[in-house]
Amino acid sequence: MLHVLFVCLGNICRSPVAEGVFRQLIAEAGLEKQIQCDSAGTSSYHIGQLPDHRTRANALEHGLTLTHRARRVTGDDLAQFDYFVAMDEQNLEAIEKLNYRSTGLYTNDTIFLLREFDPDISDQPDVPDPYYEGPDVFEEVYQISLRCCRQLLTYLVQQHVIKSERMKE
């Protein structure tokens, strides 16, 4: 079983969307027994809260119901999760620092920026934070998450030679 953790700052906008999109893609591929995911934030601003109401509304427009409660990433996550996917460079650095304090390694091949999987050529490494923005940025975050999570799933399936339950039928 592979475990993937999506990480943003407060765990109420970007990472819950990526988690929800990825969870849906996993289900559509019949890979629930092989891959699981969660999300967390690098800050403690919103611990215990549901995702931002605008995030939930946008997700619902795409058939996703987000019920995740915000939490902060911890050192225990390093042992539990196989892959860490940050929404921006600031949060990537926070994960790398946590990893360094725990393992003595600053980075490795299991810590990524989500946009590293973006099939659209972009010089922007970050998923924009929509918190202080309008509905168009919430939609942009959803679309980026969808594109990138599709590619992330393909990457994981190829790296780990995972076969879908649906493929076996």
Catalytic residues: 8, 14, 129
- Please answer whether residues 56 and 50 qualify as being in contact, where contact means their C-beta atoms are separated by less than 8 angstroms: yes
Q: Give the DSSP H/E element, type plus range, for residue 20.
A: helix 14-29
In this structure, the chain runs to a length of 169
Amino acid letter for position 37: C
- Please answer whether residues 41 and 14 qualify as being in contact, where contact means their C-beta atoms are separated by less than 8 angstroms: no
- Please answer whether residues 149 and 113 qualify as being in contact, where contact means their C-beta atoms are separated by less than 8 angstroms: no
